[in-house]
Structure 1
Amino acid sequence: MTVRHHTHAIRRSTFTVAGLAAALSLAGCGLEPAGSFVPAAAPGSIQAIEGLPASAAITITSKNYTEALILGKMAVLAAKVAGFQVTDMSNVPGSVAVRELMLNGDVDFVWDYTGTGWLAYLGNEAGIPGERPQYEAVRDADLKNGITWLEPAKLNNTYAFAVKASAVPELNGITKLSEIKDLPLSERSFCVESEFNSRQDGFKPMLEEYDLTLGSADGVNPSNVKILDTGTIYEATARGSCNFGEVFATDGRIVALDLVVLEDDRAFFPAYNVAPVVRSETLKKYPQLQQIFAQISSKLTNSQQQTLNSRVDVDGEEPAFVAFDWMQAEGLITVPVK
């Protein structure tokens, strides 16, 4: 089965020429953008690197949406605790802009997604089935560009379908996409965005992968498909306007609205595991970075990230404080002793 290509990373943080120019300008003059603050932290399981020169420096960037900002602040905190002088280039507008900063050597580190690397950066037309094979493919291919993808997290922010938790018992206790076909025709109702609905690798092929056909008597009735803006799908699903809403797997609204993500048990959607991405020359100079970021990656999961994203998007907290609280709770860092 061919895993389908989608463009969620690019779509969710749109590249602009002005955004890239501004980011490059900041990097060139040594300034940090607004929002570079993180709370003071002390070592926990992440320790200061023994013998690290006082002049050791690293520049960390992130994209400009909630999850990227939280992960970026985790990286900044970790690097500072390890003893680096850190330039925080968080909040860069767009995946393409971040990629250019990495390739040009203006930044050293970013959290990025395996599917984004393979499809958007390296220009492949289709993903590779399986999370591990997808990671290994992008890791191996990007080495020639001077970019090293370290071990990925379990966190996989791909497309998904979610259902209102309170409706699950009424839907035969559904947990997997393959179980939709076992529901009565009237219960096979969907909320999807227009792009996903119309793409050749989108809604209709997904239904077919799960033994359903749009418009057939025993498939999905077109009248049971609502085309909505991305941001309204979560609310519509929670209200019961449809049973199954198209979502991003780690979106904070999944937690806030008490939705449950169904398992993509036939691996239709490409893998978008998040991984620490470092310029190879930086990693050669400071190989300890691999172990530092591995401590964070090993703890990142979809459910954990949904909760953290919700604290920002729903509760209005600052990404830096959310990152600090989680890292402290996990023992990665501690509060400095006054």
Structure 2
Amino acid sequence: MNVRRSLAAALAAGALLFVTACSGDLESSDDGDAQAKGQGPVTISGQNFPEATLVASMYEQLLADAGYEPTVKLVGGRDVYGPDFPGKIDIVPEYVGGIANYLNIQANGPDAEPFTSGDGEEIASQAEPLFDELGITLLELSEATDTNAFFVTKEFAEENDVSTLSDLEGMSMVLAAAPDCKGRLDCEGGLSEAYGIDITKVLPLGYASDQTYQSVIDGEAQLGETSTTDGTLEAQGLVVLEDDQQIQPAQNLVPAVGEAFLTEHPDVADLLNALMAALTTEKLTELNGRVSNDREKPEDVARDFLVEEGLL
């Protein structure tokens, strides 16, 4: 019996030494990989339109590469994911003017004075108390910007001699747009109040969606909502009208992160800030074109960009 106990003890000690040695080899040979594992789950949400899908995929791939287990849940608008952020949702690819004005209305009502500065940093600073109160941290703003834009068919523009939104003053129009467009000062509200356009109906067909494009092309709607980085319009016979009264606030891309999550995972800031620094408006427009015009998969386009920039 004593011999067996001694043999078992020797085997156990040997196994322990083997495991310890292997562990030491792993840490010394590949510190980065060892540290990158086990970061835990992270939930990403945001609006469901092509550019947002593309940028969300960039977030997802960067975080997965760093050892996180990302889940992406894109939805129709801020009013859908807003109640769960922060909390059930950890990170949202955002636009500075959009999230600032959304939170402003949520806190102060629909008649709240909007943030309209053309400077994204200024908007972020003005809205900081709203972010602090909810436990949301904005990381670094990208120079890449993408504001709302409104389009008509080229045929309509030529027949009515219009090139700016002011040229539509007094006209009655159906608007195809995002589900939360009604009443927003950067959408239906601003078109009605600032430009004097009689918006008779808002069709909630989506932001820069195929359904919105087709509705305007078919004449169901006369005006559609898209973005300034939309590279698909010309090929479809559509044209953006100039926002000559500048009702659109600055919309720099920016990661919005739950403060508690960021405190536990401070490395996320470095990952996403590097992405924001690499993106430009021109590059974003080019990438959008690959998804919308060339029909490439957003995850493939996202990965190509991340590899090209040395982020993956």
Say yes or no: TM over 0.5.
Answer: yes
Provide Cα deviations, 1:20-42, integer angstroms capped at 9, x if missing partner: xxxxxxxxxxxxxxxxxxxxxxx
1:85 aligns with 2:67: yes
* Cα separation, partners in 2 of 1:173 and 1:298, compared to 1, 3 Å: farther
Partners of 1:112 and 1:274 within 8 A in 2: yes
Residue 129 of structure 1 deviates from its aligned partner by 0.9
Residue 263 of structure 1 deviates from its aligned partner by 3.5
1:192 aligns with 2:175: yes
Match of 1:62 in 2: 45
Residue 248 of structure 1 is aligned with which of 226, 233, 236?
Answer: 226
* Cα separation, partners in 2 of 1:297 and 1:199, compared to 1, 3 Å: same
Partners of 2:275 and 2:311 within 8 A in 1: no
Residue 90 of structure 1 deviates from its aligned partner by 0.7
- Which one-letter code corresponds to 1:152 in the other structure? L
Match of 2:277 in 1: 298
Which has the greater radius of gyration?
2
Match of 1:129 in 2: 116
* Cα separation, partners in 2 of 1:119 and 1:227, compared to 1, 3 Å: closer
Partners of 1:61 and 1:98 within 8 A in 2: no
Residue 89 of structure 1 deviates from its aligned partner by 0.9
Match of 2:257 in 1: 278
Q: Distance in 2 between matches of 1:208 and 1:101?
A: 32
Partners of 1:57 and 1:86 within 8 A in 2: yes
Provide Cα deviations, 1:287-325, integer angstroms capped at 9, x if missing partner: 443343223223445564455445445554332112112
Provide Cα deviations, 1:59-114, integer angstroms capped at 9, x if missing partner: 14133623333212101222344xx211111124454564455422x453221233
Provide Cα deviations, 1:122-148, integer angstroms capped at 9, x if missing partner: 514342112423332334421233220
Q: Distance in 2 between matches of 1:213 and 1:112?
A: 28
Task: Let me know the Cα RMSD of the aligned residues.
Answer: 4.5
> Could you say what secondary structure the match of 2:233 adopts?
helix
Partners of 2:173 and 2:197 within 8 A in 1: no
Match of 1:148 in 2: 137
Match of 1:206 in 2: 191
Q: Distance in 1 between matches of 2:287 and 2:183?
A: 31
* Cα separation, partners in 2 of 1:235 and 1:276, compared to 1, 3 Å: same
Q: How does 1:1-338 map to 2 (within 5 A)?
A: 53-55=35-37, 57=39, 59-63=42-46, 65=48, 66-81=50-65, 84-93=66-75, 95=78, 98-104=81-87, 106-121=88-103, 123=106, 124=108, 125=110, 126=112, 127-131=114-118, 132=120, 133-163=122-152, 174=163, 176-178=164-166, 180=167, 192-193=175-176, 199=183, 206=191, 209-210=194-195, 230=205, 232-235=211-214, 237=216, 245-249=223-227, 250-251=229-230, 253-254=232-233, 256-257=235-236, 259-300=238-279, 304-313=283-292, 315-329=294-308, 331-333=309-311
- Which one-letter code corresponds to 1:134 in the other structure? I
Deviates more, 1:86-95 or 1:70-79: 86-95
The unaligned stretches of length 5 or more in structure 2 are: 1-29
Q: Distance in 2 between matches of 1:198 and 1:287?
A: 37
Partners of 2:152 and 2:224 within 8 A in 1: no
TM-score, length of structure 2 as denominator length = 0.62
Number of aligned residue pairs: 266
Match of 1:13 in 2: none
Match of 2:5 in 1: none
> Could you say what secondary structure the match of 2:304 adopts?
helix
* Cα separation, partners in 2 of 1:164 and 1:300, compared to 1, 3 Å: farther
Higher relative contact order (CA 8 A, sep 6+): 1
Deviates more, 1:317-326 or 1:133-142: 133-142
